Structure 1
Amino acid sequence: MKTTNVIELGLNQFAGTPSKVAIVGAGCGNVELLTLKAARYISNADVIIYDSLVCEDILTLASNRCVMHFVGKRCGQPSAKQDEINALLVNSAKKGGDVVRLKGGDPNVFGRGCEEAIYLAEHGIKSEFVPGVTAALGCAASAGIPLTHRGVARSVTIVTGRVFDNTGHSWRSLLMAETTLVFYMGKEQSESIAQGLLDGGASVELPMAFISNGARENQQVTYASLGTMGEIARRIQADGPTLMIVGEVVNVGLALSELIEGIGEANSLITTTTVETLSFKANALSFAKSLF
């Protein structure tokens, strides 16, 4: 049986004028989490404008003729301004050819994808979105934590940790539903986030997990509770991005991890570093057993 190489499939959608830009999600930290459509677009691109969270293996899919522009933004470091990125997108598109704007995760989950699409449209240039595996999904899966679970969490709320309305009403509204809270870019604000949730009525024992470099070979998972969250965040030594998952689903994930370890099939990707791991696992197993 002949094997089809999806990377080599033709890309006819970009033919014609005006130029069309694909705003592509590169997924979460691992080339295998890239969608087939995204891989095909990347391999056929004449120009790729990419962010810092795009893994190097994904960039190797580009052809030798492709012009690469790095416009990554990292906290506390010099980076390209959004106006400069917008101008680069328009100029690249007007030169013709296939242009890919490559973003870590999904382009429309804290990725400014639609902002750039609107700017392009205002300049007469069409674009399309190609979805990617966002950090909430990729990190939770690689850490073995379900974002929803029967009897525990029936919804997921994704929140940016950088800018948040710090009123008591806002924190209470996050906690009203049976929801899992996922904070992007929030490790540096861990103490204030924990205090806000506590002021909103959350339990000091509510479990949470920090996932650094999620879905990558150097992934690190660190467990805490709201009461210890700020202190443990300061101990985490990780250069890459850190996602925070808050909710009882963390206990469910820990219970699963303990059961898997018991049959010798632990996920080698997960590195757990926390002073509270043993007590968390004991509590997690007890919690999980109470659900069934």
Structure 2
Amino acid sequence: MHAAMSRAWLIGAGPGDVELMTLKATRALAQADVVLVDDLVNPDVLQFARADALVIYVGKRGGHPSTPQAGIVAQMLAHLRAGRSVARLKGGDPFVFGRGGEELQALQAAGIDADVINGITAGIAAPAAIGIPVTHRDHAQGVVFVTGHSAGSGEPDWAALVATRMTLVIYMGMRRLSDIVAALLAAGMNADTPCAAIESATRPEQRHALARLGEFADTVSRAGLGSPAIVVIGGVASLALARHAPMKTLSVGVGCRLHTSAEQIETAVRAALGSHTFDEISTIASIDSKAHEAGLLEFCARHALPIALFSREQIAAIPVAEPSAAAREHLGVDGVCEPCALLGAANVSAGSAASAASAASAVPNAQLLVRKTAHAGVTVAIASIIARTEHEPTTHDTEKQDLP
């Protein structure tokens, strides 16, 4: 059989969700004798292939061992020259960072025509999956798709990209995210620029992280996100920041010596937060003798966090699992950070207008998430508000139920 009698397709399988694959793609896949599949293609799309089709996995995935591009082309040509129809199945769109252009050129050079069937690219689908439009009249007049995989001579001109003021959608950028963020900041991008990273978009295991540019790399690292993922940088990401804004349910109790710097407090709080973010903090809480502690006040101002202060009597009313002899000697209480974290959370639960006394009585509505941790003389504990369920009776409801 001559090569002219065989047929080739370059097919985009879409971002992951099988239902986002096009009808044209499923019809072409059903005709192919041979299917060469990329690593990032959802295996479930192979349900549209013929039962007797030869499926060959030729993974191309950043950061992982992959089949050489020349080897993939050689396999395609061998099957086509043997008279078999070949579908080259790629994640997303074959012409968006999928090397589809290279494969089309190689097929054409061999005298073989190929049909290109577009797919929904992850650069559009991933942002959309968490409510981010890549263009928006209020935020960006355009979008730039760029690879973050290259370094050295292949490095994108980040300064030029920053100057466009367009949305940046970065493919294959997770391994170099810290370098990319540093390059954008060095090029003059504002540290408050909203950012998002979306891993395994449109799949059941989809996860994402949201942060401002200055904290983005650290936030993504703490969240443990990895490839495959899409990074979105620009004002449009604020729409996801609004839609997915974390609930401010954390109260951070802080104990510190006199003249402790804001940087020391910052380091201790970041370490205690772990996978949580500053956006989840509702209040910072401490003993009232810290009302004029410059480092603590500067730290709170830096992050626009309110500070709640509690008296020794209120703090002493909250039991501490591991009493501190030093705290008892200097302050007359068994500990500061844990009681203050609980009192601060209870204060939020009771409402901003509630008195500290009513907050103390509401401590059962709070729970410790992180027990006392110490860094360079700063102690930190974190408590969370226990959300009352819709059917959980309030004290007032209980009183009414007790009435005859």
TM-score range, shorter chain: 0.7 to 0.9
Provide the aligned length of Structure 1 versus Structure 2: 252
Following superposition, the deviation at residue 57 of structure 1 comes to: 1.1
CA gap of 1:169–1:102, structure 2 versus 1, over 3 A, is closer
Q: Deviations 1:81-119 (Å, cap 9, x if unpaired)?
A: 111101000011112232100000000111110101111
Which whole-Å CA distance do the structure 2 matches of 1:119 and 1:137 have between them?
A: 28
- List alignment gaps of at least 5 residues for structure 2: 246-274, 282-303, 305-404
CA gap of 1:184–1:167, structure 2 versus 1, over 3 A, is closer
Following superposition, the deviation at residue 140 of structure 1 comes to: 1.1
Which whole-Å CA distance do the structure 2 matches of 1:167 and 1:23 have between them?
A: 26
The alignment partner of 1:228 has SS state of helix
CA gap of 1:16–1:161, structure 2 versus 1, over 3 A, is closer
- Find the partner of 1:110 among 90, 97, 101: 97
Which whole-Å CA distance do the structure 2 matches of 1:92 and 1:188 have between them?
A: 35
Which whole-Å CA distance do the structure 2 matches of 1:82 and 1:169 have between them?
A: 22
Please name the residue that 2:84 is paired with: 97
Q: Does 1:122 align with 2:106?
A: no
Query: What is the RMSD of the two structures over their aligned residues, measured on CA atoms?
Result: 2.4
- List alignment gaps of at least 5 residues for structure 1: 1-14, 259-272, 284-292
Please name the residue that 1:198 is paired with: 185
Counterpart amino acid of residue 250 in structure 1: A
CA gap of 1:218–1:168, structure 2 versus 1, over 3 A, is closer
Equivalent residue runs for 1:220-259 within 5 Å: 220-238=207-225, 240-257=227-244
- The 8 Å contact of residues 169 and 200 in structure 1, kept in 2 or not, is answered as no
Following superposition, the deviation at residue 278 of structure 1 comes to: 4.0
CA gap of 1:164–1:180, structure 2 versus 1, over 3 A, is farther
The alignment partner of 1:188 has SS state of coil
Q: Deviations 1:125-165 (Å, cap 9, x if unpaired)?
A: 11121100001111011111111111211100111011156
Counterpart amino acid of residue 209 in structure 1: A
Please name the residue that 2:6 is paired with: 19
Which whole-Å CA distance do the structure 1 matches of 2:17 and 2:156 have between them?
A: 38
Equivalent residue runs for 1:132-281 within 5 Å: 132-163=119-150, 170-238=157-225, 240-257=227-244, 275-278=277-280
CA gap of 1:95–1:135, structure 2 versus 1, over 3 A, is same
Following superposition, the deviation at residue 253 of structure 1 comes to: 2.6
Which whole-Å CA distance do the structure 2 matches of 1:25 and 1:49 have between them?
A: 12
Which whole-Å CA distance do the structure 1 matches of 2:226 and 2:194 have between them?
A: 24
CA gap of 1:167–1:106, structure 2 versus 1, over 3 A, is closer
Counterpart amino acid of residue 235 in structure 1: R
Please name the residue that 2:320 is paired with: none
Counterpart amino acid of residue 152 in structure 1: H
The alignment partner of 2:143 has SS state of strand
Which whole-Å CA distance do the structure 2 matches of 1:77 and 1:187 have between them?
A: 13
Q: Which of 1 and 2 has higher RCO (CA within 8 Å, sep 6+)?
A: 1
Equivalent residue runs for 1:21-60 within 5 Å: 21-60=8-47
Which whole-Å CA distance do the structure 2 matches of 1:236 and 1:254 have between them?
A: 16
- Find the partner of 1:131 among 85, 100, 118: 118
Q: Deviations 1:159-192 (Å, cap 9, x if unpaired)?
A: 1011156899922211222311011010111111
Following superposition, the deviation at residue 274 of structure 1 comes to: 5.4
TM-score by length of 2: 0.58
- The 8 Å contact of residues 205 and 225 in structure 1, kept in 2 or not, is answered as yes
CA gap of 1:274–1:173, structure 2 versus 1, over 3 A, is farther
The alignment partner of 2:181 has SS state of helix
The alignment partner of 2:127 has SS state of helix
Which whole-Å CA distance do the structure 1 matches of 2:124 and 2:188 have between them?
A: 27
Aligned-residue identity in percent: 37
Following superposition, the deviation at residue 66 of structure 1 comes to: 0.5
Which whole-Å CA distance do the structure 2 matches of 1:129 and 1:237 have between them?
A: 36
Which whole-Å CA distance do the structure 1 matches of 2:44 and 2:134 have between them?
A: 28
- The 8 Å contact of residues 42 and 62 in structure 1, kept in 2 or not, is answered as yes
TM-score by length of 1: 0.80
Which whole-Å CA distance do the structure 1 matches of 2:155 and 2:56 have between them?
A: 43
- The 8 Å contact of residues 34 and 132 in structure 1, kept in 2 or not, is answered as yes
